[in-house]
Amino acid sequence: MFDKDRFIQDCRLAVAEGQRALRELVAAAVSDRSGMMSGLGEPQHAGITPLYRSPELTIINFVWAPCMSLMPHNHQMFSVVGIYAGREDNVFWRRTATRIEAAGARSLGVGEVASLERDAIHSVLNPLGKMSCAIHVYGGDFFDPPVPRSAWDHETLLEQPWDVEKVKLLFRDAEARFNAGKA
């Protein structure tokens, strides 16, 4: 079974070694889907649940609502993403003179891991009609990065300041829309 406290401790020790060491820990954790579910519990609601936060490291359990989409955004720090339920489709973006443009994509399924560099810009979609779950590990404080983060409007692709409270609301709204469609 996934031991959340042990995982956090292992990540705290590994962050000094860098992204590759954290990737190995995330890969080992998500290789056991049932262990992750036992250790973190079956998801009840979509959302962003911090498991650990410090200036050097943030660990978050993301639960994506069915058919949820999150606008393009950056982190201003490296990240490692591991999927333990469902799927996470990522579109990667690059800056142009005034906006961003799509530059690639990657779909992650159960047991798969992706590493994103500090300057990566990506958007995320849960294409499934059920919750998707992922462990995200960041090389810094996700909620208060030293360099301000950005998000880009889905339609215009214009840059704007990142607002974590707005993102939390997007998770709640996506779950509410899905649940309303089931009624």
pLDDT in tens, 150-167: 999 999 999 999 998 898
Tell me how many domains the chain contains.
1
**Res 183: pLDDT:** 59
**Res 180: pLDDT:** 85
Give every CB contact of residue 7 below 8 A, 6+ residues apart in sequence: 25, 29, 51, 59
Q: Average pLDDT for residues 22-38, to the nearest whole number? A: 97
CATH number of domain containing 168: 2.60.120.10
- Per the prediction, the chain carries an average pLDDT of 95
Tens digit of each residue's pLDDT (9 = 90 or more) over 59-84: 999 999 999 999 999 999 999 999 99
At 1, the pLDDT band (50, 70, 90 cuts) reads: confident
**Res 177: pLDDT:** 86
Does the pLDDT at position 140 exceed 80? yes
The residue that leads in pLDDT, 181 or 116, is 116
Indicate the Cα dihedral angle 1, 49, 104, 149, nearest 10°: -140
What residue numbers bound the domain in which 41 lies? 4-182
At 137, the pLDDT band (50, 70, 90 cuts) reads: very high
Print the SS3 string covering the chain. Answer: CCCHHHHHHHHHHHHHHCHHHHHHHHHHHHCCHHHHHHHHCCCCCCEEEEEEECCCCEEEEEEECCCCEEEEEECCCCEEEEEEECEEEEEEEEECCCCEEEEEEEEEECCCEEEECCCCEEEEECCCCCCEEEEEEECCCCCCCCCCCEEECCCCCCEEECCHHHHHHHHHHHHHHHHHHHC
